[in-house]
Amino acid sequence: MRRHLLGVALGIAVLAAAFVPLPALVDAVTGSPAGDADLALPFSYLVIAPISNLLDALTQLSMDRALWLLSTWAVVFAAIGAARTGRLAWRIVRSLVGALTPLVLAVATVLLPRPVPRLVTPEPAFNVLDFHSHTATSHDGRRGWTPQRLAAWHSVQGFEAAYITDHNVPFDGSNDATIPLLPGAEWSVYRQHIVSLGSTLPLDLAPYSRDTPGMVGLFAALHAQGAIAIASLPEYWRNHWDDLDQFVAAGLDGFEIVNCAPKALAFPTSDRREIISLASHHNLLLTGASDNHGWGQVTCVWNLAREGAHGFRDNQVLARPVALAQGDLPAWNAAYTQPWLMLRALSWPERVSWLTWIALFSIYRGVPRRKGQGRGIGILARSLGSREKE
């Protein structure tokens, strides 16, 4: 029974999580399921669902929770490796391998190509947009991350268009990518990043980089060029929470309420509700942002936007509930709450894939082998070993 303990425990957890399920997507404004919009999962994604789901869950961690999860599991795996029987040298090796395993998973999360979910929606009146993304032109963009590669990243996940908002470098919208790439920029000003949507010329940022009253003057400068201004996360939340009335009075057009960058995922639900109330009162646009810089394979948010409009009711922000939960959970418990959130968010095809892999692994581990017989694939290995001796 000890040999099957891990498989049994994991199988029970997979089934237990089905009694407290999370929807695939929620409306970030209302908190309710996303209606007719859903995530389509490629067959290859389902075949390797335990890997797919694990890497997706790691992608949707806030920065503090990511550090706690990785460090906690590094200690746990190192301790397991050291506790196993054997020579001291092998125990040290196993301990080091265990400690490095979470780091390897983190690197795989960022760099490993893999199948990803795709948003599907029957809403013809709305466009699936990303309002905030970057190429290698940004100082922190991935090297070689061209507009074409960025467009391919968006296209496979169901986006119909994306704004390129490189840091302090306007994008003019010219491209031959798989989906339309729209003009924009992200301006770094006084303790704040402002995403501008629409064609703009390069700006002298000095007048907007001294203090808050000067910074909000950027909004009028963007309007004069025909662009609109969106306050990015996490800066307005961390640095300007008491200044938001000044933002609105100066003509800000909207706020990000979901941003998939790890530093922004810590935005708590209570503060998101305050922003939603403020935006509703002043008819401001609310947006979600992948904030993609070329790292990671999946987004946590999509926008269903009405073309040419930017009021409160002209965009629906659809987010993964695992990502939205990051701001409401303590960082220290991420090692077990993130896996539990992941299991709760599984669809039934994903659960079946998990249970199948658990069963296969348990069978492999449980098939007895005769003395001297090498490792193999379960019963097949045993059968072949028997024939060789006949």
Number of residues in the chain = 390
pLDDT of residue 388: 44
pLDDT of residue 384: 46
201 class by beta-carbon count within 10 Å (0-12 exposed, 13-18 middle, 19+ buried): exposed
pLDDT of residue 1: 52
Q: Which residues pair with 301 in a beta bridge?
A: 319
Q: Read off φ and ψ for residue 82, nearest 5 degrees.
A: -70, -30
- Rounded CA-CA distance 145/293 in Å is 8
Count of CB atoms situated within 10 Å of the CB of 238? 14
pLDDT of residue 368: 66
Angle, helix 334-344 to helix 5-17, in steps of 10 degrees: 60
SS3 of the chain: the string is CHHHHHHHHHHHHHHHHCCCCCCCCEECCCCCECCCCEEECCHHHHHCHHHHHHHHHHHCCCHHHHHHHHHHHHHHHHHHHHHCCCCHHHHHHHHHHHHHHHHHHHHHHHHCCCCCCEEECCCCCCEEEECCECCCCCCCCCCCCCHHHHHHHHHCCCCCEEECCCECCCECCCCCCCCCEECEEEEEECCEEEEEECCCCCCCCHHHCCCHHHHCCHHHHHHHCCCEEEECCCHHHHHCHHHHHHHHHCCCCEEEEEECCCCCCCCCHHHHHHHHHHHHHHCCEEEEECCECCCCCCCCEEEEECCCCCCCCCEEEEECHHHHHHHHCCHHHHHHHHHHHHHHCCCHHHHHHHHHHHHHHHHHHHCCCCCCCCCCCHHHHHHHHHHHHC
264 class by beta-carbon count within 10 Å (0-12 exposed, 13-18 middle, 19+ buried): buried
Is 0.85 surpassed by the pTM of this model? Answer: yes
pLDDT tens digits, residue range 308-338?
888 999 999 999 999 999 999 999 999 999 9
- Rounded CA-CA distance 91/231 in Å is 52
pLDDT of residue 389: 45
End-to-end C-alpha distance for the chain, whole angstroms: 32
Residues of the chain with pLDDT under 50: 378-380, 383-390
pLDDT of residue 84: 82
Q: Which residues pair with 162 in a beta bridge?
A: 130, 181
Angle, helix 334-344 to helix 49-59, in steps of 10 degrees: 130
pLDDT of residue 123: 78
